[in-house]
Structure 1
Amino acid sequence: MVRANGAVSLRELARVVQTSEVTVRRDVRALEAEGLLDRRHGGAVLPGGFTRESGFPQKSLSATAEKTAIADLAAGLVDEGEAIVVGAGTTTQELARRLARVPGLTVVTNSLLVAQALAHANRVEVVMTGGTLRGSNYALVGSGAEQSLQGLRVSRAFLSGSGLTAERGLSTSNMLSASVDRALVQAAAEVVVLADHTKLGADTMFQTVPTDVITRLVTDEPPAHDERASTELQALADQGVQITVAGVPVSPSAAAQAPASSAESEKVRPQRREMPLPGQRRTRGGAGPGPARLGPAGGLEPGTAPGPGGSMERVARMADLRRR
């Protein structure tokens, strides 16, 4: 699977081979010891994956459930009549499919896949950048794309990438893509990064968005064993990034191993958690109260969320009210 796709998550491997992530993680360690692959924070890649960029077919098969959940939450951040920019990527493509239902929206993008997802949305205006087509990810890059973004101003930019760390922020493996992403960021008042847990702690060649420019991260819950992803989330929260965590539905194999009550509760659990505290930072350069603390599995530590009992629902309501 790694040879075919370039990268694969432990969750996906466990689903395909119908075993637990614990077993898969042990086998991945053994394969890494033989030099057949490299482990990467909740997944595995081909050796030398630090500089290697997977093509679109490979990326589209990685962490599909996580990307879907992230796109669902990110779409809820967009209001009617907004003007936004959306970068290239498989997660942003999923977001675009959901934006087709937002009336009066204007979307500026360099991604052919994002534009295609919105092509038949009657109430959404799509503005394409110029540039040279980069076939590996169906994106327009180069000076033409960057020049077409000069003088543009929108409310938000939604971007993805190859890796995200608290030290360097969002990064990608391709220089041309990084340059266009930086131009997209310059056009936006707020920057929202969409990154699943496999990208947390991964560091690739070209920085696109420094951490202090990222307004919000929309991600999924890291597995309990993935300490590096959880640590990275805490570090990002400490630097003022608002973090929205999407719940991912339990796979059939995982549900079969879990108690019935646990599996059922997962299906109805609100699929949104906010950290750090609302109002900490909404736009670049803003300041506010200190961040909430993340627990060892990536969740908030007891008592750090505001409201009775540290309710995540109240955090989400406050964020929504403030956004309105």
Structure 2
Amino acid sequence: MFAAERRQLILEMVRANGAVSLRELARVVQTSEVTVRRDVRALEAEGLLDRRHGGAVLPGGFTRETGFPQKSHMATAEKTAIADLAAGLVEEGEAIVVGAGTTTQELARRLARVPGLTVVTNSLLVAQALAHANRVEVVMTGGTLRGSNYALVGSGAEQSLQGLRVSRAFLSGSGLTAERGLSTSNMLSASVDRALVQAAAEVVVLADHTKLGTDTMFQTVPTDVMTRLVTDKPPPQDDRAGTELQALADQGVQITVAGMTPAGAAEAPGPVQGSGGRGSGGEKGQGRRDVPMPGQRRNIPPGGGGSQPSQLRSAPALPEQSPVGNRVADLAPRRR
């Protein structure tokens, strides 16, 4: 297949689906991911699409919603790491709400092991993941089924959440910026997510780094309402994601970053100390090590002393069920 034919096919796939992973593009056009990445870069230079880490999306800041089949194959390793870490925030006997999404579905699979848990959700996928958990009670909202993401939406879903109060809400979305917070591309889904937020004392956003800096049409969780963001470590070349994380931290959001530790990788020096943030109480403190984000520097005094870095400090550490092999960093606001 000639380059022009490949690029035309790539463009057609992105236009049809809104977002496509490099792996899927390479499979369809029957070439390597390296070649596809070069084609995507050329199409981006022509303004025909936008690159994202691991894939390509429609051009423009306000992207359309991606269908569930495409979402389920994008950033799968990152979503798994995020779900592993977020599950460590949930304690026995808690009552929580969990929104719709592929990342929250991964979280639900891990919550099946938490005894005495009550989960309120509008997601059929979340409910299905917990259906056989004997010690977990699942409460479904009412509403109209939205087949593209297997979620219940509409006035029935919103009314069923009135008067509800739980400890935490776990939500995902299509985009996340420091300016607008979490957003999604569908008005009905956004409205239900806002109702879920109103029911919770704390709001935990689950978003992989590909969503950082992406803005979509309907705001669901304003930045000043977010308690914590659980995300993965962006690649070093992704300056936008690193900048967005620091901006969120500067606005008081506790940011917990999970990343798989490469074999033989050196750990960051020194355990970090706890720092306050919105809704920071409740987790048990444990020794953790900080990981610098892209574009950030450690402030180490002359002589290489062992003082703590001023830009990155850990929020209260997570419980012991956090997965072995993940490195965790909590990003705190810069000292001014």
C-alpha contact 2:54 2:75 (8 A) present in aligned 1:
no
Choose from 175, 178, 183 the match for 2:190.
178
Listed as ranges, the matches of 1:85-164 within 5 Å are: 85-164=97-176
Counterpart position of 1:282: 279
Cα offset for 1:279?
Answer: 1.9
Change (3 A) 1:88 1:318: closer
Q: Which residue of 1 aligns with 2:203?
A: 191
Q: Which has the larger radius of gyration?
A: 2
The one-letter amino acid of 1:31's match is L
Of the three residues 233, 236, 241, the one matched with 2:245 is 233
Q: What is the distance in 1 between the residues matched to 2:249 and 2:291? A: 8
Whole-angstrom distance in 2 between the partners of 1:279 and 1:12: 42
Counterpart CA distance in 2 for 1:283 and 1:141 is: 31
1:137-159 superposed Cα distances (whole Å, 9 cap, x missing partner) = 00000000000000000000000
Alpha carbons of 1:232 and 1:103: their partners in 2 closer, same or farther (altered >3 Å)?
Answer: same
Residue matched to 2:263: 264
Distance 1:67 1:51, change over 3 A: same
In structure 2, what is the equivalent of residue 290 of structure 1? none
Indicate conservation of the 8 Å contact 2:124/2:150, yes or no.
yes
Deviation at 1:24, TM superposition (A): 6.2
Point out where structure 1 has 5 or more consecutive residues left out of the alignment. Answer: 250-262, 285-292
Percent sequence identity over aligned pairs = 80
* Kept after mapping to 2: 8 A contact 1:71/1:92: yes
2:276–2:315 CA contact under 8 A, matched in 1: no
Does the CA contact (< 8 Å) of 1:164 and 1:200 recur in 2? Answer: yes
Hey, what does 2:5 align to over in structure 1? none
Q: Give the number of equivalent residue pairs.
A: 291
Query: Is 1:65 the counterpart of 2:77 in the alignment?
Result: yes
Query: Matched residues in 1 for 2:296 and 2:22: separation?
Result: 20
Residue 50 (structure 1) aligns with: 62
Is the contact made by 1:85 and 1:184 (CA closer than 8 Å) also made in structure 2?
yes
**Structure 2 matches for 1:291-302, cutoff 5 A?**
297=294, 301-302=298-299
The one-character-per-residue Cα deviations of 1:257-296 (angstroms, maximum 9, x if unpaired) are: xxxxxx4235x979xx99x953222169xxxxxxxx9956
* Cα distance in 1, alignment partners of residues 315 and 217 from structure 2: 38
Give the whole-Å Cα distance in 2 for the aligned partners of 1:11 and 1:187. 39
Deviations 1:3-41 (A, max 9, x none): 375324569879996666xx7655422121344422246
CA contact (8 A) 1:102 1:124 kept: yes
- Compared CA separation, residues 226 and 149, structure 1 to 2 (3 A): same
Determine if contact 1:41/1:228 at 8 Å carries over to the other structure.
no
* Cα gap change, 1:175 to 1:300, in 2 (>3 Å): farther
**One-letter amino acid of the structure 1 residue matched with residue 184 of structure 2:** T
Corresponding residue number in structure 1 for 2:317 = 319
Partners of 1:241 and 1:25 lie apart in 2 by 33
Alpha carbons of 1:303 and 1:78: their partners in 2 closer, same or farther (altered >3 Å)? farther
Residue 80 (str. 1) matches residue 92 (str. 2): yes
1:125 Cα offset (Å): 0.2
Distance across 1 between alignment mates of 2:180 and 2:315: 31
Secondary structure of residue in 2 paired with 1:208: strand
- The one-letter amino acid of 1:83's match is A
CA contact (8 A) 2:79 2:106 kept: yes
Q: RMSD between aligned alpha carbons? A: 3.5
CA distance, structure 2, for counterparts of residue 77 and residue 14 of structure 1 = 37
CA contact (8 A) 1:107 1:125 kept: yes
Equivalent position amino acid for 1:244 in 2 = T
User: What's the offset of the Cα at 1:298?
Assistant: 6.0
Matches of 1:269 and 1:296, distance apart in 2: 14
Once the 2 structures are TM-superposed, how far is the Cα of residue 299 of structure 1 from its aligned partner? 5.9
Matched, 1:222 2:234: yes
The structure richer in helix per residue is 1
Contact 1:9 1:198 in 2 (8 A): no
TM norm structure 2: 0.76
| Cα distance in structure 1, aligned partners of 2:98 and 2:293 | 32
